[in-house]
Structure 1
Amino acid sequence: MTENPMGSYDGSILWPNTGSVYFFSGSQYYKFDIAANTVPGGYPMSTAASWPGLDGAFIHGAAVWPTGGKAYFFDRDNYYSYDIAANKVDDAYPRPTALNWPGVLGAFQDHRVDAVVPWTNGSVYFFQDDRYYRVDPTTKKVDPGYPMPIKDNWPGLWTTGNNIRGGFVWPQLVEGHQVAYFFHSAFYMRYDIENNKVDDGYPKPITGNWKGL
């Protein structure tokens, strides 16, 4: 997240009904308080101690699913189903991503998920390297015609070399627009959803713009 011994940003998830975004870095995580616009004192904390069942996981893509009361965390070529109400990983996880998400990442030998972002159109987007997939949240299947190149449909967004490492739609308007944030290592981009492009002046460093990270 910052230039410190823990390393860089690995993944994030916007948590429901809490006003918080959780950022993961190696075996630790931060809670970012949206209203206060900062990380509260006491962070980072151990992921294993605070997220039952995620001990040992190296989080990349993560998202609260639009239906079903679940969050999904992706670790290399596996994923975890997390019961939000029970606050723990479901039994018998992790499971292989390739075997449980029809069509997701099937074209790649490396089944790592870089980012998972529920979008305002009701779909969920999976990103890996320079490609992305549009997934139906009800069936969890990839829509026909995917994957597609990021560069063709996400103007200004990173497109090469495992760049996108997480993202989420911001729950508040920013300068009158609905936006999403995408992250890569120590940098981030702000994406204007209405105008379908990265805002001018990005990428910017996480340090100095996300207080406490």
Structure 2
Amino acid sequence: MAKKVHTITRPLRQTSGDWHYVKWHWISEDVADKEIDRSFEGAFQGTPEQRRWFAAAVASDRSMPSLYVAKTGKVYFLCGDTYVRCTQETMTIDEGFPKSISSYWPGLKAVGFDRDIDAILSWDEKTVYLFKGLQYVRYNLETNKVDDGYPKSIALYWPGFKEAGFDSGIDAFVRWDTDRAYAFKGDQYIRFHIPTNKVDQAPRKTINYWNPLATLGPSRLMAMYLAGEVE
């Protein structure tokens, strides 16, 4: 089953501008077809205010935490202390956005996760993990709150991340299938083996091992999310 993979990248040696949004028909790590390739600032259509939000997000040079919710077809992008919600199918920003993270994601402010989040990992239909600095929280989409006992240390609860240098500042995190999740930082990535709960692939250059991304040139992966599969 091929995947619909959405990536946001920026040139490795450039601090702002020219971010790429690419939608891939991803058959394997070696074979993928570009379906959409355009500037991230112009990828999703909206009001002038909403377009300014995307421009400011790019200018900040921070990673772009992204969350796709399959049952609604919505994708969320976070930057600073605000977020936008977009309709993936029409590539449009929903009316009324951006909004405050603290006002619409209950409990994040109390644990210090209402701004400057590094990455979001969509785990299953009801669970997402949010990463910030050295810590992470688990958020329940059904109860719409942070689970008890969080935040926790990435180094302590994600075995192998500290040794790989991925215990802070993660740019993107994606669960690829039932067995594998990939974390990206700078121009490198690691693979986390879910059944054994450990890193089973040490840091590698993203451009060398994710061949379709190599067509974009030396880049920093700012976000990746999966939105749909095709036969």
Is TM-score (shorter-chain normalized) higher than 0.5?
A: yes
Aligned partner of 1:90 among 73, 91, 94: 94
**Residues 125 and 135 in structure 1, CA contact (< 8 A), matched pair in contact too:** yes
**Residues 183 and 191 in structure 2, CA contact (< 8 A), matched pair in contact too:** yes
Give the match's secondary structure for 2:102: helix
Give the match's secondary structure for 2:202: coil
Deviations 1:139-196 (A, max 9, x none): 3211111111111211012213x2x11111114x6xxxx1011100100011111111
Query: What is the CA-CA distance between 1:67 and the residue it aligns to?
Result: 4.2
Aligned partner of 1:45 among 25, 30, 38: 38
Q: Whole-Å Cα distance in 2 between the matches of residues 189 and 109 of structure 1? A: 24
Q: Whole-Å Cα distance in 2 between the matches of residues 135 and 70 of structure 1? A: 17
Structure possessing the higher relative contact order (Cα contacts under 8 Å, 6 or more residues apart): 2
In structure 2, the partner of 1:196 is 197
Which structure is higher in strand share? 2
Deviations 1:47-70 (A, max 9, x none): 233322464243511021254332
Listed as ranges, the gaps of 5+ residues in structure 1 are 1-16
Aligned partner of 1:165 among 163, 171, 177: 171
Q: Whole-Å Cα distance in 1 between the matches of residues 135 and 117 of structure 2? A: 11
User: Which amino acid is the alignment partner of residue 182 of structure 1?
Assistant: A
Give the match's secondary structure for 1:207: helix
User: Which amino acid is the alignment partner of residue 193 of structure 1?
Assistant: I
Q: 1:98 to 1:209 in 2, by over 3 A?
A: same
In structure 1, the partner of 2:206 is 206
2:21 is the alignment partner of 1:20: no
User: Which amino acid is the alignment partner of residue 212 of structure 2?
Assistant: G
**Residues 65 and 119 in structure 2, CA contact (< 8 A), matched pair in contact too:** yes
**Residues 28 and 44 in structure 1, CA contact (< 8 A), matched pair in contact too:** yes
Q: Whole-Å Cα distance in 1 between the matches of residues 86 and 92 of structure 2? A: 6
Task: Report percent identity of matched pairs.
Answer: 28
Larger mean CA deviation between 149-158 and 103-112 belongs to: 103-112
Listed as ranges, the gaps of 5+ residues in structure 2 are 11-18, 214-231
**Residues 22 and 34 in structure 2, CA contact (< 8 A), matched pair in contact too:** no
Which structure is higher in helix share? 2
Deviations 1:54-110 (A, max 9, x none): 642435110212543321111222111112344311111111222221122544488
Q: Whole-Å Cα distance in 1 between the matches of residues 210 and 9 of structure 2? A: 15
Q: Whole-Å Cα distance in 1 between the matches of residues 145 and 181 of structure 2? A: 23
